[in-house]
Amino acid sequence: MMVASTLFFVSQCFAGELEKQCALAQKKALDFLASSQGLTGGFTSYEWVTLRPDQKQPTKTPFTVSQVVYSLSFCPDDPTAKTIRARAAGWLLREREEPGVWRYHGQNDKLPPDADDTAMAWVALQREGYSLSPKALDVVRASRNELNLFNTWMGDPTAPVDSREPDTVVNLNALLLFRLVHENFEPVCSYLLKQVENEGFRGGSIYYPSQWCFTYAFSRAYADGGVSCLKAAVPKIRQRTLALQQGDGGWGSDYETVLALLTLLNLGEKGAPAERALKLLISRQMSPGGWILEAAYTGADRSMSYGSSAVTASLCVEAFAKYLRH
């Protein structure tokens, strides 16, 4: 009995130490985001030819800002997070086009508005208390193909884009959006469940080459958004994520590691695998408070890559917050 009590006490001490480390890392990441936020509330992203990662070009995109707002919403009482979110939400609203849609490069983008940017901007703004635009939902709802799957690009079907094929992550994000108004799309759910069943998700999607982008978006839609039609695939996503954790506690890059970690946290895993991943991310945090800039998504032909340090930092904040919450 005494041995068991001693082991329990030791495990509690280790857990308490990890909580302290997570809280400190979260504060450093929030300070990093606050210092890197632009005067108008946006964040810098980068794009580069995939084979030339040393030649990155800065850009601004609603997608990065939406992720920051979304992830930081899990720190509802932190004053730094509140300030960042409020300023970022203002930036998003100024980039909105009628009837409530967004383009990847903002209003001057030559590409048409897309469902991914639009869905995640509204999901983020709704968490900040803004009301959804019914007309914007109509535009996204209408942008579906003959199989009733959501198209990435909206508007003029003849506009030049790099792919007209449905993207699985984009469809998950669309489900997350429409769940806010309690609307379900069974063909989309069936399509996504099949992707899990046949393990098609492991090859990435059109715009998201990492399978962990899919698992994170899946777990977010299911756990945060309440998209219950995905429930049947939860055990397989959880098992696959656990099975592919590497010896150091990660799943590859810092960006992929935090996506896989959030997948586990969202699906109820709070034990040793999650703790190992948390410790790895804490050890990899750089002195300014961020993590290494890596590609988060690509163009359809993989020739161009896109990423932002703010995205990885905000995802890490989300992971720390969700771990500490439980």
- 64: closest CA among 307, 300, 253, 260? 307
Q: Is residue 4 part of a domain?
A: no
Q: Is residue 52 part of a domain?
A: yes
Query: Residue 11 in contact with residue 272, Cβ under 8 Å?
Result: no
- 314: closest CA among 297, 295, 289? 289
Alpha carbon 63 to its chain's center? 10
pTM reported for the whole predicted model: 0.94
pLDDT score at 4: 47
Question: Which residues pair with residue 60 across a beta bridge?
Answer: 44
pLDDT score at 14: 53
Rounded-to-integer distance, Cα 90 and Cα 78, Å: 19
pLDDT score at 266: 98
Q: Is residue 148 part of a domain?
A: yes
Q: What is the largest CA-CA distance in the chain?
A: 73
Residue span of the structural domain in which 150 resides: 31-325
Q: Is residue 163 part of a domain?
A: yes
pLDDT score at 15: 64
pLDDT score at 271: 95
- Give exposure, 117-142, as e/b (b: 16+ Cβ within 10 Å): bbbbbbbbbbbbeeebbeebbebbee
> Which tokens in the block code for residue 239?
């098992």
Q: Is residue 16 part of a domain?
A: no
pLDDT score at 13: 43
pLDDT in tens, the chain (326 residues): 544 443 344 444 456 999 999 999 999 999 999 999 999 999 999 999 999 999 999 999 999 999 999 999 999 999 999 999 999 999 999 999 999 999 999 998 999 999 999 999 999 999 999 999 999 999 999 999 999 999 999 999 899 999 999 999 999 999 999 999 999 999 999 999 999 999 999 999 999 999 999 999 999 999 999 999 999 999 999 999 999 999 999 999 999 999 999 999 999 998 999 999 999 999 999 999 999 999 999 999 999 999 999 999 999 999 999 999 97
| CATH number of the CATH domain containing 237 | 1.50.10.20
Number of domains in the chain: 1
- 139: closest CA among 100, 185, 95, 107? 100
Q: What SS3 state is found at 45?
A: strand
Question: Which residues pair with residue 293 across a beta bridge?
Answer: none
Q: Is residue 18 part of a domain?
A: no
Rounded-to-integer distance, Cα 253 and Cα 236, Å: 22
Q: Is residue 197 part of a domain?
A: yes
Q: Is residue 117 part of a domain?
A: yes
